[in-house]
Chain A
Amino acid sequence: MLTGLTKRGDVDTRALAKSIRIHALRMTSAGGSSHVGAVLSMADILGVLYGTILRVDPQAPNWPDRDRFILSKGHAGAGVYAALAERGFFPAELLRAHCQDGSAFSGHVSHKGVPGVELSTGSLGHGLSVGTGMGYDTKLDGQAFRVFVLVSDGECDEGSTWEAVLFAAHHRLDNVVAIVDYNKIQSLASVSETLELEPFGAKWVSFGWSVVEVKGHDHDALKQALTLVPAEAGRPTVIIAHTTKGKGVSFMENAVLWHYRTAKGEEFERAMAELEDAP
């Protein structure tokens, strides 16, 4: 493990986020896979979640009362695999298999053969429905856990996302927390050029959610927002995290190109140097 994390208790979320970025760059490069920009965008969110927020136990990944974390933007699965490895769910050496022939570590996150992955995703617009089902489930039993679902801005184009948004508010699932990785860049172009989401926070408010807007790379802000959930009793919470796609590698930041491009050769070396040199 890069950061020498302990298996329980708080860890240095910034160090964890840095490790996630480094792993993800290496994994996507070695695997010739895409979406490194999408991982870099949410690495700080994952660092805070897996570092200090989620009640999970690497020694008991199926502990019934664990908090559920669903990566609905499954294309950024490399980030979750990295976070789980860093938290000790499995040895980090296994990450080398990412996207390799015969590997369980698929480009889009999959639970089969990977301890700690709550839900397999990859097609967008699925995670929030399943997460709300989990939230409803535990509410029926007196609520043993919380559910955190990380969605992309692009997948807020999906109608099914909004079906789940309606459902969670109607049933007052205040144990459900959606986090939007709002980097404002989709697959081919910016969100505003593709399908405008603004006024984005107002949409969630009008659907009955509590909305918290944060700077998505500010660990203190993320930690505060994610600690103070539900933001209001009786309402699901959405944390709209304003992020930068490709965050941490100068030439990847805010660039549509790095949704799909794989860093190779000199590009990889430059990117890795920037990530390793970061505080």
Chain B
Amino acid sequence: MRNAFIARLSTLAARDDRIMLLTGDLGFGVLTDFAKSYPRQFLNVGVAEQNMTGVATGLALGGRTVFTYSIANFPTLRCLEQVRNDAAYHDANVKIVAIGGGFSYGALGMSHHATEDLAILRGIPGITVVSPGCLWEVEEATETLASTPGTCYLRLDKSDAGRTNRPREHFQLGKVRTLRSGRDVTLLATGGILGVTLQAAERLAADGIQARVLSAHTIRPFDAETVFQACRETAGIITVEEHVVDGGLGGLVAETCLEGGVVPRAFHRIGLRAGFVSVVGSQEYLRAHYGMDVAAITARASAMVRGLPQRTPDTKVGLAR
């Protein structure tokens, strides 16, 4: 995803010299071409994310569109107050880009797992929160965010669902995309785990279950209507996110549906419930270990469609550490 991002950003930077890219000393090999091509628009601020975000705000208040770039939680949680007070409160055109969403850097340990960012960022007023699931969504989101006023967050992942766009499809920020129609159950995913979700839908189809697959590339603003429609037309909603289940996509859908008075017949959040991870491994390994792989999604969806009583693992939420 990061390559798709930087390729599109380079195109944008060539057209608009007000676009800048700041990195917190990360992006070896990835940002090199951008830095060479647009030296006036590139700045490695060093390992100093608080300052990076403050500097980005200062640049943005002068009329520039400033992308800040780093890994996992460094451009978000490490400098969260600068994101909140400096960038967001001043409606500054700061676009925060985190690579390494979820377990992208699974083997590197919990410091490099971005598994609470969506909940935290969407809690800050005024921030547009985007979590693309495929390379086309990354490219389109990058371009759209560059012209979206205010502070935005772009969460990138090491995995992706390839290219899921239809011919001549137009990207709309804040609009949930329907990638697969179906009326038995809805799988609503955000981020690179969309790829796994699509695979799960294939497997369900082989078992005669037609799953609707929706890509929620934009967490805020959120497309309630498409989700309401899925609530009305399918047997239930399963949200899929490589993120804690608290406050992320699943939480967002739950609060949106309940407040909107459109309650799905069944509902389940697939995501991280085990507290901080206690093991490391590849992204694929950790997804399987923590119940968010093809098998887990398929089993959950299958049980939901058949109306089987489902053990709710939520009972220990909040206790596990």
Instruction: Tell me if A130 counts as interface (CB < 8 A to partner B).
Output: yes
Cα of A204 to Cα of B54 in the assembled complex, Å: 20
Q: Most chain-A Cβ atoms within 10 A of its Cβ — which of B55, B64, B81, B89? A: B55
Mostly, the B contact residues are: helix
Cα of A107 to Cα of B57 in the assembled complex, Å: 22
Contact B54 A129 (CB under 8 A): yes
CB closest chain-B residue, reference A147: B58
Instruction: Tell me if A52 counts as interface (CB < 8 A to partner B).
Output: no
Interface residues on A, range: 20 to 34
Contact indicator per residue, chain B 132-156, by CB within 8 Å of chain A (1) or not (0): 0000000000000000000000000
Stretch touching chain B among A8-16, A132-140, A255-263? A132-140
Contact B45 A130 (CB under 8 A): no
Cα of A131 to Cα of B57 in the assembled complex, Å: 9
User: Using Cβ atoms and an 8 Å threshold, which residues of chain B touch A129?
Assistant: 50-51, 53-55, 57-58, 82, 86
Tell me the smallest distance from the CB of A154 to a CB of chain B, in Å: 17
Contact B54 A126 (CB under 8 A): yes
User: Using Cβ atoms and an 8 Å threshold, which residues of chain A touch B62?
Assistant: 133-134, 137-138, 141
Contact B46 A167 (CB under 8 A): yes
Contact B86 A130 (CB under 8 A): yes
Tell me the smallest distance from the CB of B68 to a CB of chain A, in Å: 11
User: Using Cβ atoms and an 8 Å threshold, which residues of chain B touch A125?
Assistant: 50
User: Using Cβ atoms and an 8 Å threshold, which residues of chain B touch A123?
Assistant: 81, 85
Instruction: Tell me if B289 counts as interface (CB < 8 A to partner A).
Output: no
CB closest chain-B residue, reference A145: B62
User: Using Cβ atoms and an 8 Å threshold, which residues of chain A touch B51?
Assistant: 129, 132, 160, 163-164, 166-167
Cα of A216 to Cα of B54 in the assembled complex, Å: 27
Instruction: Tell me if A100 counts as interface (CB < 8 A to partner B).
Output: no
CB closest chain-A residue, reference B49: A163
Contact B58 A132 (CB under 8 A): yes
Cα of A74 to Cα of B81 in the assembled complex, Å: 15
Other-chain residue from A135, A160, A170 in contact with B50 (beta carbon distance below 8 A): A160
Contact A119 B90 (CB under 8 A): yes
Instruction: Tell me if B26 counts as interface (CB < 8 A to partner A).
Output: no
CB closest chain-A residue, reference B53: A129
Contact A120 B57 (CB under 8 A): no
Known: A138-B62, A163-B48, A167-B46. Is A133-B85 also a contact (CB below 8 A)? Answer: no
Contact indicator per residue, chain B 90-103, by CB within 8 Å of chain A (1) or not (0): 10000000000000
Q: Most chain-A Cβ atoms within 10 A of its Cβ — which of B51, B57, B61, B64? A: B51
User: Using Cβ atoms and an 8 Å threshold, which residues of chain A touch B56?
Assistant: 133
A-B contact pairs, 15 of them (CB 8 A): A120-B89, A121-B85, A122-B85, A129-B50, A129-B51, A129-B54, A129-B55, A130-B86, A132-B51, A133-B55, A137-B63, A163-B48, A164-B51, A164-B54, A167-B48
B residues with a Cβ closer than 8 A to A are 40, 43, 45-46, 48, 50-51, 53-64, 81-82, 85-86, 89-90
Beyond contacts A121-B85, A132-B54, A138-B62: 17 other A-B pairs, Cβ-Cβ < 8 A, are A129-B58, A129-B82, A130-B54, A133-B61, A133-B62, A134-B58, A134-B59, A136-B58, A136-B59, A137-B58, A137-B61, A137-B62, A137-B63, A160-B82, A164-B54, A166-B51, A167-B51
A residues with a Cβ closer than 8 A to B are 111, 119-123, 125-126, 128-138, 140-141, 159-160, 163-164, 166-167, 170
